[in-house]
Structure 1
Amino acid sequence: MKKTFYLFNPGELDRKDNTLKFTPIVGSESNEVSMPRYLPIEDISEFYVFGSLRANSALYNFLGQKDIAVHFFDYYENYTGSFMPRDSLLSGKMLLAQTSAYQNKSKRMVIAQKFIEGACYNILKNLRYYSRRGCDVEKIISDIKEYSTRISSAVSIEELMGIEGMIRQTYYEAFNLIINDFEMGPRSKRPPLNEVNALISFGNMMCYTLCLRAIHQTQLNPTISYLHTPGERRYSLALDISEIFKPIIVDRTIFRVLNKHEIQDKHFEKKLNKCLLNLSGKKIFVKAFEERLNETIQHRALGRKVSYRHLVKLECYKLSKHLLGMEMYKPFKMYW
Structure 2
Amino acid sequence: MKKTYYLFNPGRLSRKDFTLKFTPVDESGREGTPKYIPVEGVSDLYCFGSLDANSALYNFLGKAGISVHFFDYYEHYTGSFQPKEYLLAGKMQIQQTLHYSQAESRLKIARKFVEGAAFNISKNLRYYQNRGKDLESSLKKISQFGMLIDSSGDIPALMGIEGNIRQEYYRAFDLILKDHAMEGRSKQPPMNEINALISFGNMMCYTLCLDQIYHTQLNPTISFLHEPGYRRYSLALDLAEIFKPVLVDRTIFRVLNKKEVKSKDFDFHVNKVILKESGKKAFIRAFEERLNETIKHRTLKKSVSYKHLVKLECYKLSKHLLGIETYQPFKIWW
Q: Any residues of structure 2 matched to 1:96-111 within 5 Å, and which?
A: 96-111=94-109
Q: Any residues of structure 2 matched to 1:247-326 within 5 Å, and which?
A: 247-326=245-324
Instruction: Report deviation, 1:234.
Output: 0.7
Corresponding residue of 1:218: 216
TM-score using structure 2 length: 0.99
Corresponding residue of 2:5: 5
Corresponding residue of 1:14: 14
Distance 2:261 2:177 in 1: 12
Distance 2:288 2:14 in 1: 25
Instruction: Report deviation, 1:132.
Output: 0.4
Instruction: Report deviation, 1:174.
Output: 0.5
2:71 pairs with 73, 77, 80, which one?
73
Instruction: Report deviation, 1:33.
Output: 1.1
CA deviation digits over 1:181-236, x for unaligned, max 9?
A: 11111111100000000000000000000000011110000010000011012100
1:177 pairs with 175, 178, 181, which one?
175
What's the Cα RMSD here? 0.5
Distance 2:69 2:234 in 1: 16
CA deviation digits over 1:279-317, x for unaligned, max 9?
A: 100000010000000000000010000000000000000
CA deviation digits over 1:70-97, x for unaligned, max 9?
A: 0000010000000000001101100000
Residue 266 of structure 1 aligns to which amino acid in structure 2?
Answer: K
Runs of 4+ in structure 1 off by over 6 angstroms are none
1:95 pairs with 69, 93, 110, which one?
93
Corresponding residue of 2:29: 31
Number of aligned residue pairs: give it: 334
Q: Which runs of 5+ in 1 are unaligned?
A: none
Distance 1:134 1:323 in 2: 43
Residue 77 of structure 1 aligns to which amino acid in structure 2?
Answer: E
Q: Which runs of 5+ in 2 are unaligned?
A: none
CA deviation digits over 1:311-334, x for unaligned, max 9?
A: 000000000000000000000000
Is the partner of 1:273 in helix, strand or coil?
coil
Q: Give the percent of matched residue pairs that are identical in Structure 1 and Structure 2.
A: 64
Distance 2:278 2:225 in 1: 35
Distance 1:201 1:209 in 2: 12
Corresponding residue of 1:82: 80
Distance 1:157 1:51 in 2: 37
Distance 1:54 1:223 in 2: 28
